[in-house]
Amino acid sequence: MLKPQPRVNALSKPFWDGVNEGRIRLQRCTAPGCGHAVFYPRVCCPYCRQAGLEWFDATGRGRVLSHTTIHRAHHDGFNPELPYVFAAVELEEGVILYGQLMDAPVESQSLLGRQVAARFAPHGPGRQIVMFQLDEV
């Protein structure tokens, strides 16, 4: 069964095109003295509210902010993968992305603060999605 697909629009297209190319593209505020990285895609910087935002390539590296092992999926498309680990990841650029932690242990143990790198997996017709992989410790 097809998993839920994002609805791509003019605002989010640079991000999703990047994902399909195996890159994580984020917005960055161009206002002097601000410069925050921004995600999800916005029309203005949510820190200084100026409209100047430019796209750039993120490193794809980050750390686990929190995580959960999903035993009951919110959508039947995920049922074949249960249980799996889902995480909130803070990228080095300071933004939060969500994704599955590939090959992570599903039993209850803390992975907070662990370093991760972005990976890209097939998700639907013409669509890749961001996942994350734990660094070896």
Partner 1 sequence: MSSVFEGVRVVGAGQAAYAKRSTHGVYRLLYDAGTAALMQAGLDWRMVDGLAVTSFMLPPDNVAVVAEHFGIEARFLFQGVYGGASGVIGMAHAARAIRDGACDVVVVAAADAFDVASHNATLDHFNTSVRDYMSPQGFGGANGMFALHTRLYMERYGATREDFGRFCIALRANALRNPNALFKEPLTMDAYLNARQIADPLRLYDCVMPCVGGDAIVLVSEKLARSLPGNSLRILAAEELHNFPANDVYGLPGGWEGFADRLYERAGCGPSDLQFAQVYDDYPVMSFVQLEGLGLCAKGGAARFIRDTDITVDGSFPVNTGGGQLSAGQAGASGGMIGVVEGVSQLLGKADGRQVKCDRGIVSGYGMVAYGRGLSSSAAILERVR
Residues of this chain that interact with partner 1 (CB under 8 A) are 3-8, 12, 40, 46-47, 65-75, 78, 81, 83-84, 86-88, 96-100, 106, 108, 110, 112, 123, 129-130
Q: What is the DSSP letter of 81?
A: G
Nearest distance from C-beta of residue 59 to partner 1, angstroms: 19
Nearest distance from C-beta of residue 131 to partner 1, angstroms: 8
Answer whether 30's CB lies under 8 Å from 97's CB. Answer: no
CA distance 86 to 101: 6
Which C-beta is closer to partner 1: that of 69 or that of 115?
Answer: 69
Which C-beta is closer to partner 1: that of 81 or that of 135?
Answer: 81
Which C-beta is closer to partner 1: that of 56 or that of 96?
Answer: 96
Q: In what order do the strands lie in the sheet with 37-38?
A: 37-38, 25-29, 53-57
Q: Roughly how many angstroms between the first and final C-alpha of the chain, as a whole number?
A: 35
